[in-house]
Amino acid sequence: MHDIFLSYASVDRDKARRVAEALAGRGWSVWWDRDIPPGKSFDQVIEEAIEGARCVVVIWTRGSVESHWVKTEASEGLQRRVLVPVLADEVKIPLEFRRIQAASLVAWDGSQAHPEFAKLCASIEAVMGAPAPAAPKPAAAAPRRRWISALVVAGVAAVVCFILYGTVRIRAMQRVLVERKTKVNLTNMRSTLLSYYAERDKSKPFEMMSYFKLLPTAIPAEAPPYHGPWSSIESFAPGKVPDDRGGWAYLKPNGEGAGEFVVNCTHTDSAGKIWSQY
């Protein structure tokens, strides 16, 4: 359970980190690092986190106003009346969320004393109250007991490190397996595209998009930890590039040809290669 659920587009992770650290410095607990634990899906983790939060802070940027996930999270906060919007870029907030005044952190220098950051904190306090005061520090242990405490701490630390190492390894293996599945799906989709192109005697790209809409929706693209399984297909005009919405992207050709079919993700996989460049 956290005080604040921080909603943002994945391309704005650095901005989100600054806001999260500043809010934590005020005494609130903030959920923002979207690691997906083993055995759970992306949307399941998001749903549990947002339902357990007392306040939903949405960072509106050029990327987030186009993000399906951010709009969904903002809608949840609006419905529960715990939404607090923040402007990090000079953009127009989506219509359904404009009724709530947003603090502007466009020129924020990261300081706690900045007037717009103070305005943000005041809006959060209006939703759920001021952060709880820090618990008093316990009295120092007696000298003769310190060595026992040190041994206990060392033992616990060793166990925790072992568990964390195993968890990290498992997550890494799970990520590689999911990535392999997406790459196999990408190959199959491209083969379908080329077969259709050949069978229709080099049909035009817009006809191909009509064909794509007939494909089974159970062929997902998943790019952990940035995008969960998503089978939608976005069509881009010649010369345009993927917009990192997840799922698939069809890049229309400048002239003749079948075009290019890629994963709609501008992040890197576990091998360090950008998804949309495969």
CATH code: domain of residue 81: 3.40.50.10140
Same domain, yes or no, for 112 and 199? no
Least confident of 103-107, 145-149, 164-168, 198-202: 198-202
Same domain, yes or no, for 204 and 99? no
What digits encode the pLDDT tens for the residues 186-222? 888 777 777 766 666 655 555 556 666 555 555 777 7
Number of domains in the chain: 2
Strand 227-230 relative to strand 221-223: parallel, antiparallel, unpaired? antiparallel
pLDDT for the residue numbered 200? 63
User: Is the pLDDT assigned to residue 140 strictly greater than 70?
Assistant: no
User: Is the pLDDT assigned to residue 164 strictly greater than 80?
Assistant: no
Token pair in block for residue 224: 């952990």
Q: What is the DSSP string of 170-209?
A: HHHHHHHHHHHHHHHHHHHHHHHHHHHHHHTTS--HHHHH
Residue 248 contacts residue 218 (beta carbons within 8 Å):
no
- Alpha-carbon distance values, 27 to 60, 120, 232 (Å): 23, 14, 40
Residue 160 lies in a domain: no
Residue 54 lies in a domain: yes
pLDDT for the residue numbered 63? 94
pLDDT for the residue numbered 197? 66
Rounded to 5, what percent of the chain is helix, strand, coil?
45, 15, 40
Does residue 131 have a cis bond before it (omega within 30 degrees)?
A: no
- Alpha-carbon distance values, 24 to 13, 112, 227 (Å): 16, 11, 26
pTM above 0.75, yes or no: no
Q: Among 67, 93, 128, give the residue marking a domain's end.
A: 128
Cβ neighbours for 2, distance < 8 A, ≥ 6 positions apart: 29, 30, 31, 49, 52, 53, 54
Of the candidates 214, 220, 201, which has an alpha carbon nearest to the alpha carbon of residue 258?
201
pLDDT for the residue numbered 53? 92
Same domain, yes or no, for 255 and 199? yes
Query: How far is the C-alpha of 52 from the C-alpha of 49, rounded, in Å?
Result: 5
Q: What is the DSSP string of 50-62?
A: HHH-SEEEEEE-T
Query: How far is the C-alpha of 14 from the C-alpha of 1, rounded, in Å?
Result: 23
Domain hosting 249: range is 176-277
What digits encode the pLDDT tens for the residues 229-267? 877 788 888 878 788 888 888 888 777 666 788 898 988
CA atoms 66, 127, 55, 12: torsion sign: positive
Q: Is 250 helix (H, G, I), strand (E, B) or coil?
A: strand
Q: Phi first, then psi: give them for residue 211, nearest 5 degrees.
A: -70, -40
Same domain, yes or no, for 9 and 124? yes
Residue environment code for 105-142, b if the CB has 16+ CB neighbours within 10 A, otherwise e: beebeeeeebebbebbbebbeebeeebeeeeeeeeeee
Residue 71 lies in a domain: yes
